[in-house]
Amino acid sequence: MYDVIISGAGPAGSKCAEVVAKAGYKVALIEKDVNWRKPCGGAVGAGAIEKYYPQLKQLNSTIINSVSMFSADYHKIKDTWEPKDSIVVDRLAFDNLLRTIAVESGATLFNENVSYDFILENDKKIGIKTKSPSGIKEYYGKIIVIADGMSSKLAQKSGLRTKWKTPELGIAKCAILEGKNKLEKSRIYIFFRAYKGYGWIFPLDENRFNIGCGTFGEDNLNYNLNNIYKEFINDPHIKKYCPESNYQEIWKGSYPLPSIGIIENCLFGDNILIIGDAAGFVSPISGEGILPSIVSGQVAAETAINALKSNNISKQTLKAYKKHPDIKNIIMNFRLKYSLVKFFFENKGEKINRMFMLAANDEDFKKQTFDLFFSGIYVY
Ligand SMILES: Cc1cc2nc3c(=O)[nH]c(=O)nc-3n(C[C@H](O)[C@H](O)[C@H](O)COP(=O)(O)OP(=O)(O)OC[C@H]3O[C@@H](n4cnc5c(N)ncnc54)[C@H](O)[C@@H]3O)c2cc1C
């Protein structure tokens, strides 16, 4: 019997496992596949190293301190920021480092386990069932944390939230390419398009970069992801930064992400907490979800520890997760961003074209334009 079972060892689940295990509790961290590289741009907001993971320095990731953003008609605005600790990571190395930290803190990682249902006793959820290469497995625990991302089966089976509808998602495709390029190594590049969505190029090191694009909202249904990706990587304006014709494709993938903010009613139930993408911890305007997911993992862990200490794992106790100031801040931030999405992406990119044209000559307006897009990339 575990004190806490966590389904999903992404950034949210690994942080939660680390904190609960460090407090001396018995933790099972259940993961589908530690060799899966989550499709992601890999930009990790400032504060991740300083506040949550000083160990990230081991990855020698690119330190990012500036951004160039382009409207669909290629007006460009640039910004720099302090402190200089935003980074771009390769998700395979990053996720495995975070899992290692959780294991070194005392959690037990069960790889090749796909969780698919709860174990019930008198309607109470007393554990989870997984499919593994050696058959069905059962894990029993006092508190169950759902951290298995946007496609979580358990989140739906918990009854706390329903399946996302296509317009409630972002859908993006990206690749890691290797070869000579003209990117500044401390700068990320974001390209708005004539659809709801954007493309990006994030430098990973001297020769490798992460490139991708995606749509969200109703444009998921209006555009074909493979076509817009092909159009994006072959666009002459993009080619200025990566001009070679024969980049080596190290990896590529596509994946959806929640894009309507946090599903506030789903965060907790009797002995259940939902964290990270599974609960919608992704900025509805920028798609930034790594740092918000880590914050949700940290707060869920603290909530679970207090509940175990007081021997009360009911939803009355676990609601402290949603009431925590850090979670309230993210909820408010994402609510505000979601309300601005329609305005920001109006008229097939025309609003952004005009905003960038004005911002190029007005420092204050430029700052506000950046703040509109980057939710909490500088905070937490
Ligand atoms: C294309 C794309 C680009 C993105 N770019 C950025 C970016 O640049 N910066 C940023 O901050 N955010 C970005 N995001 C969002 C970011 O990837 C997520 O918000 C973040 O990874 C959420 O962390 P998580 O731990 O909640 O979920 P995940 O990272 O999705 O982790 C879930 C874990 O659960 C495991 N799992 C899944 N199902 C099961 C199961 N049934 N049983 C057991 N284990 C399971 C998975 O293997 C995975 O390890 C991007 C997303 C996409 C799709």
- Tens of pLDDT, residue by residue over 61-98, are 888 989 999 999 999 999 887 766 789 999 999 999 99
Q: Could you identify the atom of ligand 1 that is nearest to the CA of residue 153?
A: 41
User: Is 60 exceeded by the pLDDT of residue 100?
Assistant: yes
Q: Which token pair is 326?
A: 């850090």
User: Is 80 exceeded by the pLDDT of residue 244?
Assistant: yes
CA distance 318 to 338: 26
- The three-state secondary structure class of 321 is helix
Cα angle 211, 78, 356 (rounded to 5 degrees) comes to: 95
Output the pLDDT for position 375.
Answer: 59
Give the residue, 94 or 341, on which the prediction is more confident.
94
Q: Which of 202, 206, 197, 199 is nearest to 176 (CA)?
A: 202
Please state the separation of Cα 95 from the chain's center in Å: 12
Q: Of the residues 62, 98, 152, 290, which should be mutated to test ligand 1's pocket, given the most ligand atoms within 8 Å of the CB? A: 290
CA distance 269 to 273: 7
User: Is 90 exceeded by the pLDDT of residue 342?
Assistant: no
| 149 CA distance to ligand 1 middle (Å) | 5
Report CA-CA distances (Å) from 200 to 68, 115, 174, 192.
10, 33, 9, 9
Output the pLDDT for position 376.
Answer: 57
Output the pLDDT for position 377.
Answer: 44
Output the pLDDT for position 83.
Answer: 65
Nearest CA residue ID for atom 17, ligand 1? 40
CA distance 3 to 256: 32
pLDDT confidence band for 47 (50 / 70 / 90): confident
What number does CATH give the domain 2-37+91-163+261-341?
3.50.50.60
**Domain residue spans of the chain:** 2-37+91-163+261-341
Q: Could you identify the atom of ligand 1 that is nearest to the CA of residue 30?
A: 43
Size (the chain), residues:
380
Mean of pLDDT values over 122-138: 97
Are the C-beta atoms of 276 and 10 separated by less than 8 Å? yes
Report CA-CA distances (Å) from 190 to 70, 85, 121, 129, 316.
6, 19, 50, 41, 43
CA distance 169 to 256: 6
Task: Give the type of residue at 285.
Answer: I
User: Is 50 exceeded by the pLDDT of residue 239?
Assistant: yes
pLDDT confidence band for 289 (50 / 70 / 90): very high
Query: Which residues have a Cβ under 8 Å from the Cβ of 29 and sit 6 or more positions away?
Result: 6, 9, 13, 14, 17, 99, 102, 103, 107, 108, 109, 110
| 354 CA distance to ligand 1 middle (Å) | 33
**Quick one: residue 287, left, alpha or beta (phi over 0 = left, psi -120 to 50 = alpha)?**
left
CA distance 264 to 267: 6
pLDDT confidence band for 371 (50 / 70 / 90): confident
| 255 CA distance to ligand 1 middle (Å) | 9
Share of the chain above pLDDT 70, in %: 98
* Pocket of ligand 1, beta carbon within 6 A: 7-13, 30-33, 36, 38-43, 113-115, 147-149, 153, 172, 174, 212, 255, 257, 276-277, 282, 287-291, 293
Q: Could you identify the atom of ligand 1 that is nearest to the CA of residue 14?
A: 25
| 359 CA distance to ligand 1 middle (Å) | 33
Query: What H or E segment, with its residue span, contains residue 77?
Result: strand 76-80
CA distance 142 to 3: 5
DSSP 8-state assignment for residue 230: H
User: Is 50 exceeded by the pLDDT of residue 43?
Assistant: yes
Q: Of the residues 34, 148, 200, which should be mutated to test ligand 1's pocket, given the most ligand atoms within 8 Å of the CB? A: 148
Provide the mean pLDDT of the chain. 94
Are the C-beta atoms of 299 and 324 separated by less than 8 Å? yes
